[in-house]
């Protein structure tokens, strides 16, 4: 009976140590994942800011008045006169 009790106590001590190691591992893993999450959130925020800037730039570049101004100034284009327009009907 005494040997059985010692075996039970030894098993409980081993299980307790294994559980403690499991808790330490789980906390370590949690910290690592939290650091990774924080980095990914910062990256996401930076990308959202850049996306907003790109949308603003796209709206500015694609503005028809701006395109027309560049076409006139840089390319020397002009609006065709009524006599130069040909309408093709099917």
Q: For 43-73, what is each residue's pLDDT tens digit?
A: 999 999 999 999 998 888 777 888 888 888 8
Which domain, by its residues, includes 59? 2-76
Q: Confirm whether 85 is domain-assigned.
A: no
Q: Confirm whether 82 is domain-assigned.
A: no
pLDDT at 10: 95
**Confidence check: pLDDT of 25 > 90:** yes
Work out how many domains the chain is built from and give that number.
Answer: 1
Q: 70 near 64, Cβ under 8 Å?
A: no
Q: Confirm whether 46 is domain-assigned.
A: yes
Q: Where is pLDDT greater, at 60 or 40?
A: 40
Q: Confirm whether 69 is domain-assigned.
A: yes
Q: Confirm whether 81 is domain-assigned.
A: no
Task: Give every CB contact of residue 86 below 8 A, 6+ residues apart in sequence.
Answer: none
Percent of the chain with pLDDT over 90: 59
Q: Confirm whether 37 is domain-assigned.
A: yes
Q: How high is the mean pLDDT of the chain? A: 92
């Amino acid at each position: 009976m005494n040997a059985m009790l010692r075996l039970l106590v030894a098993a409980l001590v081993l299980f307790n140590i294994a559980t403690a190691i499991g808790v330490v591992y789980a906390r370590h893993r949690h910290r690592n994942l939290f650091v990774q999450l924080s980095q990914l959130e910062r990256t996401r925020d930076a990308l959202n800011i850049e996306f907003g800037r790109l949308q603003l730039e796209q709206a500015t570049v694609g503005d028809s008045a701006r395109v027309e101004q560049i076409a006139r100034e840089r390319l020397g284009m002009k609006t065709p006169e009524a006599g130069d327009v040909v309408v093709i009907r099917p």
